[in-house]
Amino acid sequence: MEKKLKIILCVVLTILIALVAFLGVYSKDEAGILYKSKLPDYVLSSDFKNKRVSSFIIDDSTEEKIYDADGKEVDSIPEGESEDNYKKEETKINPDWTRTLENYEKAKEILEGRLKILAIDNYLIRLDKATGNLAVELTDELDTDTTLQYLSAKGDFEITDTDTGDVLMDRSDLDNVSVIYGRDPDNLSAINVYVDFKFNKTGKEKLAQISRDYIKVEESEEETETTDETDEAENSEDTEDTESEESKQKTITITIEGQTFNSTYFGEEMTTGELPVSIGSASNTDDLQTYLKRGQMYEMLLNNDEMPLTYTITNSEVVRGNLAENGLKIATIIVGVIFAIIAIYSIIKYKADGLIMTISYIFASALLALLVRYTRTVVSINSFMAGALLLIVNSYIIIEVLRLINNEEMSVWSSFKNACLKNILLIVIAIIIAVVFTFMSNVKAYSFGITLFYGVISIAISNFLILRTMLLAHHEK
């Protein structure tokens, strides 16, 4: 009974770790709405993906600015007023004094920070220190165009008086921006998405004052009693005109990158230093993801410094990966076929022992997959070559173990010891190759070496924990 229990426990453990490694572990977020993976994604090399290479060029164009008699900038000359009272100037979007190496390097640093917020790891940014231009290489995805559009944005932020355009708050008042969402209490099938603006100490004080100045105007109660109908009508008309002037609702406008994000007023004084602003309400997962992606772009822009220069994307081309189409699928199938051939041969030749060997390999493969995930190891075609090499070498050794157990009738321990000693040179060479390649700077060589290294660890654990335990349980008298 104890032998069967050991075998059952090993099989259950193998099934569990395989499910976790290959299917993942998911749990609902804090809002209880979306399922999110608890495991890191695989990092695929550029061989398996197309790349988008884009040129970020410093904008050389000019813009016309208009100033009134007081020197205040205005959008346009009001209709009917003389142009002589206004001054027009042509100014460079990027003045010469901004074109410094310090600003070039800062722009590169900001782009890297933005990509980090978007959880984009597989990228390359090259800076031309002479011109300040940047070459940005990203994996080509469905939303890469949108990402590039926001990535090249300057990232300005203002809260202004809607009527006068006076700036009430700007980026210097911001502390942090985040995206929050939750179910609408009045409609549980809808999910409201907000961008939550958190302000620093100075911004908190400004927001409190603005919320008092731009608070919702309450409507006055109408007079209901009068003794003279004619006087009542006249008084009512005068009162409405007065109230219309006095109770005109003042609003603020939030602008991001020069575009209106929202215009609103306040229902109460904002004392917490937070301003959550709705960006949409979703009734399905696709719409929710769209709003969350949009909110994430605002996070990207406003949780980093404002770009010191204005860039335009003048060229963006797709560079196809060598194995981008079906390379990953083909590599997986090839390794899978090798595994299947070895498993079928072992089961036919050694029956139950062959099945035990197959189970141990499933455990080792799952453990290797988890190590690759958690260590963010780049998966390349060389990774699959390392996996195939490990599979063949270890199978050669384990089949020797099974032969000694069944044909020579050795004990499990003796069979393992003899097989390992007989192939000690092969084992040492594999370990040396793994260590040497792991310390190489070339990504593909490193990918081969580190996968081989983690594979040796995985197989050693699997052989000792699963294979040895099950063979002992199966062959014990």
Helix, strand, or coil (residue 411) = coil
Task: Flag whether pLDDT at 321 surpasses 50.
Answer: yes
323 — pLDDT class (breaks 50, 70, 90): low
For residue 308, the model assigns a pLDDT of 92
Query: Distance of alpha carbon 9 from its chain centroid, rounded?
Result: 38
For residue 324, the model assigns a pLDDT of 56
The encoded tokens of residue 204 equal: 């908190």
The encoded tokens of residue 460 equal: 């050693």
Q: Across residues 129-151, what is the average pLDDT?
A: 87
User: DSSP secondary-structure letter at 167?
Assistant: E
Residue 163 and residue 253: Cα distance in Å, rounded? 9
| 35 compared with 157, residue with greater pLDDT | 157
Q: Are strands 378-379 and 43-44 parallel, antiparallel or unpaired?
A: parallel
| Residue with the two structure tokens 């090249």 | 152
Task: Flag whether pLDDT at 233 surpasses 70.
Answer: no
Residue 164 sits at φ, ψ, to 5 deg, of: -95, -20
Q: Of 282, 306, 283, nearest to 172 (Cα)? A: 306
Residue 463 and residue 364: Cα distance in Å, rounded? 8
Residue 319 and residue 297: Cα distance in Å, rounded? 25
pLDDT tens digit sequence for 91-135: 888 888 999 999 999 999 999 999 988 888 778 899 999 999 999
Q: What is the 3-state secondary structure (H, E, C) of 412-471?
A: HHHHHHHHHHHCHHHHHHHHHHHHHHHCCCCHHHHHHHHHHHHHHHHHHHHHHHHHHHHH
Residue 86 sits at φ, ψ, to 5 deg, of: -130, 150
The encoded tokens of residue 231 equal: 């006087």
Q: Which of 138-152, 265-279, 400-414 reaches the highest mean pLDDT?
A: 265-279
Q: Of 234, 66, 49, 26, nearest to 123 (Cα)? A: 49
Question: Which segment of 55-59, 61-65, 171-175, 320-324 scores lowest on mean pLDDT?
Answer: 320-324
Instruction: Give percent above pLDDT 70 in the chain.
Output: 90
Helix, strand, or coil (residue 249) = coil
Q: Across residues 277-286, what is the average pLDDT?
A: 85
Task: Flag whether pLDDT at 243 surpasses 50.
Answer: no
223 — pLDDT class (breaks 50, 70, 90): very low
Task: Flag whether pLDDT at 204 surpasses 90.
Answer: yes
Q: Across residues 333-358, what is the average pLDDT?
A: 88
Element spanning 292, H or E = helix 285-302
Q: Are strands 187-199 and 157-161 parallel, antiparallel or unpaired?
A: unpaired
Task: Flag whether pLDDT at 246 surpasses 60.
Answer: no
Three-point CA angle 292, 313, 160, nearest 5°: 55
Q: Can you give the pTM of this predicted structure? A: 0.70
pLDDT tens digit sequence for 302-315: 998 899 999 999 88
The encoded tokens of residue 400 equal: 């020797």
Domain covering 50-73+87-217+248-319, topology: Gyrase A; domain 2 (3.30.1360)
Task: Flag whether pLDDT at 183 surpasses 90.
Answer: no
Residue 472 and residue 468: Cα distance in Å, rounded? 6
Residue 188 and residue 192: Cα distance in Å, rounded? 10
Task: Flag whether pLDDT at 23 surpasses 70.
Answer: yes
pLDDT tens digit sequence for 346-384: 899 888 888 988 999 999 999 998 998 888 888 888 888
436 — pLDDT class (breaks 50, 70, 90): confident
CATH 1.20.1640.10 fits 2-27+323-475, yes or no: yes
Task: Flag whether pLDDT at 472 surpasses 70.
Answer: yes
**Chain-wide mean pLDDT for the chain?**
83
| Residue with the two structure tokens 């799952």 | 366
Residue 153 sits at φ, ψ, to 5 deg, of: -70, 155
State the Cα torsion 189-266-249-252 to the nearest 10°: -100
Task: Flag whether pLDDT at 224 surpasses 70.
Answer: no
pLDDT tens digit sequence for 38-50: 788 877 777 777 7
For residue 230, the model assigns a pLDDT of 44
30 — pLDDT class (breaks 50, 70, 90): low
- For the chain, domain boundaries: 2-27+323-475, 50-73+87-217+248-319
Residue 475 and residue 477: Cα distance in Å, rounded? 6
Task: Flag whether pLDDT at 339 surpasses 80.
Answer: yes
322 — pLDDT class (breaks 50, 70, 90): low
For residue 120, the model assigns a pLDDT of 82
Answer whether 40's CB lies under 8 Å from 376's CB.
yes
